Structure 1
Amino acid sequence: MTTVPPLFPPHAVSRLRSARLLRSTRPFLARGGPHGERCGGCRLILSHCLCHLRPIVPTRAGFCLLMAEHETLKPSNTGWLIADVIPDTMAFGWARTETDPALLAVLADPQWQPYVVFPGEFVAPERVVSHLIAEAEAGAATDAQAEVAATPTKRPLFILLDATWSEARKIFKKSPYLLPFPVLSLAPEQLSRYRLRRSKRDDHLCTAEVAAICLGMAGETQAAQTLDAYLDVFSDHYLRAKQQIKVSWEDALHQQLAALRTTANTEL
């Protein structure tokens, strides 16, 4: 299976994938998809490529993806979509026995206020926060909230554990460098729209859906809506390619994304 060069320069997840492929001892073959040429920019077969629809929305918020070993190789991975849309997206492969010094440098960068995005029910209460910097109360009850309230000029950096649920729990428990940071616990009201992998629970959101919620909490409404729309179009193309169905380029999903891209370009 050959790969066609992407239209855009490689972003953080793309570079991480390339590095992972170089370490592979045998070719990675995605399950369920047709064989043939794939686009290096969107990982889809050429007839369903959506690179020309890619929206780029600069934001004050940033993302730091900690990715499980094989996650970058999966064509259905949605951390890739976050890096497509949000320029300030960094990605690092996770390993229990070693930590990338570049990751530690990012976490120590004074411009950022890191938040580990993880369910609060699995975390000590004193670490859990439900508000971002601008919303933190001056009289915050916990140490984590007080620290966030004391640094109002920092940019939010959302640390997302891009992995299966069991892998994400392992990453969270075995990454001591995450201990100094507050844990942002989300309470999403919507059910997941993600259709590319099976989950036993409809309230388990994919990585891009979590990122969109984080952007909304940070006041990045345009970016949140754009990422959601881009995820919907990507999922549509992915499933149509898998089922060998032509893309409906003028449907409501594509029109919504086009409108958001136009708005984003106007505001740049």
Structure 2
Amino acid sequence: MTQIHLPHAVARLRASRLLRSTRPFLARGGPHGERCGGCRLILSHCLCALRPVVPTRAAVCLIMAEHETLKPSNTGWLIADVLPDTTAFGWARTEVDPALLALLADPQWQPYVVFPGEFVTPDRVVTELLADDVTHQVADEISGQQSKRPLFILLDATWPEARKIFKKSPYLNQFPVLSLAPEQVSRYRLRRSRRDDHLCTSEVAALCLALAGETLAAHTLEAYLDVFTEHYLCAKQQLKLDRDDAVHQRLRDLRLP
């Protein structure tokens, strides 16, 4: 039986953005043809049957630049595919979605703004989760109380746009800045970057999940990005997919029973 997935936060944000468009959005690259509404790929290379869902204690909040939801290569969509507790909000300089402010004020969450620490004062920078988040399982067992859940705020945008969002969103100033120092080189091949250490949004999310102890979700998101990339590039180059290759097999091996 085919599993039916309801539209997630990024899909809903995309639908809202399309309703406001004055002309159709035409994605660049690849052959022309009908795209799947679930994965944004052409139907012959649809990814929906392979979508993994991994519940986690940690959550992701995406603050997305104006056009990101419209790009088929956007990887914030993949995060929302995998993590049920993903929220997504469009960014505007002159207004803030009240639902975003309500989420950030919810006492169940410990928000972290994920951004390079070199752009903020040292007192805001953290390189690992706060003690309450790291030791939540032990603390909960001993005290019977529920500690705060990590909420990773990711700025889903090009690098210049992300810097603008960070600088012009004062409601984020109250939260610690989680600065990542990944040893890995980005494997993202769908857009060009001048620097190999600039990771795409889903790669950043996987690193955050690993810090939170969400190992299965982190590995699954990494594998899902690789599969999505393979489908996207094969569709763009009009190549046949090998659904039994190592990339697909790795994702299958990670699926929950």
Taking structure 1 as the reference length, the TM-score comes to 0.89
Q: Give, in whole Å, the separation in 2 of the partners of 1:36 and 1:70.
A: 21
RMSD across aligned positions (CA): 1.7
Q: Give, in whole Å, the separation in 2 of the partners of 1:111 and 1:128.
A: 21
Q: Give, in whole Å, the separation in 2 of the partners of 1:26 and 1:34.
A: 20
Map of 1:200 onto structure 2: 194
Structure 2 unpaired stretches of 5+? 135-144
Tell me if structure 2 keeps the 8 A contact 1:208–1:231.
Answer: yes
Map of 2:100 onto structure 1: 103
Where 2:151 maps in the other structure, the secondary structure is strand
Where 2:62 maps in the other structure, the secondary structure is strand
Where 2:33 maps in the other structure, the secondary structure is coil
Structure 1 unpaired stretches of 5+? 1-5, 138-150
Where 2:25 maps in the other structure, the secondary structure is coil
Tell me if structure 1 keeps the 8 A contact 2:133–2:212.
Answer: no
Please point out which of 214, 224, 243 is paired with 2:218.
224
Tell me if structure 2 keeps the 8 A contact 1:78–1:208.
Answer: yes
Q: Give, in whole Å, the separation in 2 of the partners of 1:7 and 1:167.
A: 34
1:7-86 → structure 2 map (5 Å cutoff):
7-86=4-83
Letter in 2 for 1:243: Q
Tell me if structure 1 keeps the 8 A contact 2:111–2:152.
Answer: yes
Tell me if structure 2 keeps the 8 A contact 1:134–1:152.
Answer: no
Tell me if structure 2 keeps the 8 A contact 1:39–1:49.
Answer: yes
Matched, 1:177 2:171: yes
Q: Calculate percent identity across the aligned residue pairs.
A: 78
Tell me if structure 1 keeps the 8 A contact 2:133–2:148.
Answer: no
Q: Give, in whole Å, the separation in 1 of the partners of 2:226 and 2:89.
A: 25
1:138-217 → structure 2 map (5 Å cutoff):
153-217=147-211
Letter in 1 for 2:114: V
Letter in 2 for 1:154: K
Closer, same or farther in 2 for the Cα pair 1:17/1:65, shift >3 Å? Answer: same
Matched, 1:247 2:244: no
Give, in angstroms, the shift of residue 136 of structure 1. 8.0
Q: Give, in whole Å, the separation in 2 of the partners of 1:33 and 1:159.
A: 32
Letter in 2 for 1:180: Q
Map of 1:233 onto structure 2: 227
Map of 1:142 onto structure 2: none
Map of 1:129 onto structure 2: 126
Q: For residues 100-144 of structure 1, give each alpha carbon's deviation from its aligned partner in whole angstroms, at most 9, with x where no partner exists.
A: 00000000001000000000011111100111134889xxxxxxx
Q: For residues 61-117 of structure 1, give each alpha carbon's deviation from its aligned partner in whole angstroms, at most 9, with x where no partner exists.
A: 000000000000000000000000000000000000000000000000010000000
Tell me if structure 1 keeps the 8 A contact 2:51–2:82.
Answer: yes
Map of 2:91 onto structure 1: 94
Q: Give, in whole Å, the separation in 2 of the partners of 1:177 and 1:212.
A: 25
Map of 2:140 onto structure 1: none
Q: Give, in whole Å, the separation in 1 of the partners of 2:36 and 2:131.
A: 40
Letter in 2 for 1:63: V
Letter in 2 for 1:80: W
Q: For residues 40-70 of structure 1, give each alpha carbon's deviation from its aligned partner in whole angstroms, at most 9, with x where no partner exists.
A: 0000001100100000000000000000000
Closer, same or farther in 2 for the Cα pair 1:153/1:135, shift >3 Å? Answer: closer
Q: Give, in whole Å, the separation in 2 of the partners of 1:51 and 1:240.
A: 16
Tell me if structure 2 keeps the 8 A contact 1:7–1:51.
Answer: no
Where 1:38 maps in the other structure, the secondary structure is coil
Where 1:98 maps in the other structure, the secondary structure is coil
Deviates more, 1:121-130 or 1:225-234: 121-130
Tell me if structure 2 keeps the 8 A contact 1:81–1:231.
Answer: yes
After TM superposition, which residue ranges in structure 1, 4 or more long, deviate above 2 angstroms? Answer: 133-137
